[in-house]
Structure 1
Amino acid sequence: MIAYGGEVLRFVGDAVVAIFSIEGGEVEQAAAAAINAARQATERIETLNGSARLGERRLIDFGIGLYVGDVTYGNIGIPERLELTVTSAAANEAVRIKALTKKVGVSVVMGRIRGGLQRQIKAAGLPRAARRWA
């Protein structure tokens, strides 16, 4: 992820929250970096799962949700306990999109970015009618 210009903000349980900054309006470049990072993460986890099948380790179940949108980024909280994070409707939508991975049985679901599309899916539970790609 970092190799593609992403920034890991935090870990939440078994989840990772990361962002890819859009500098100077280069949406396509940031989206391509996020897609490439997701592909690399998927390949690495599939490799780990392949070796886990041979041993006694548990398989890693994962999902990745990708979304492009405006966020508020910075330290949020009280002075004694600040947390570097993002917040916005776009951040919430990325979480909802990630949840779709289990529903449709794929590793990566994207909203508002297109790259390496395989099939379009319906996204129930999102705040408005939206297209999602897996």
Structure 2
Amino acid sequence: MSCVHYKFSSRLNSDVVTFHGPHISLRDLRHQIMGHERLKATHCDLQVTNAQTMEEYTDDNALIPRHSSVTVRRVPVRGVKATGKTDLGSQTEPASRTSKEKKAPGGFRRRTYDTSMNPYHNHPVRTLTILRIILSINE
């Protein structure tokens, strides 16, 4: 059995793809790695680079010799334009009165709840204190 060692650039450990023959095509290597890692071809593509020479394999028919080490990166599917930022400001606010969306640092959206309807929302200590005050007044 022949093998190719692959390592994702974001991981510390490496894994092995086994095959028969003196080499494997880039297409077959990608297919086996995606199957082993449970990745879907519709969500991402794999960029494969030789770990020793830093040569990027781009041709699907390129032959990778056995016992090679490669570095793998997940990249967007070819033909899909990737954008660096998503415009969150153009989206409309939700119609619900009880929730609002606010931008957190980094452009991420954070869901907060409008507490004007219930000022003691999610504060059991305050609620318990208020109940004790009310009960003491009624006595």
TM-score by length of 1: 0.24
Larger Rg: 1 or 2?
Answer: 2
Q: Which has the higher contact order (CA 8 A, sep 6+)?
A: 2
Task: Report the structure, 1 or 2, having the larger helix content.
Answer: 1
TM-score by length of 2: 0.24
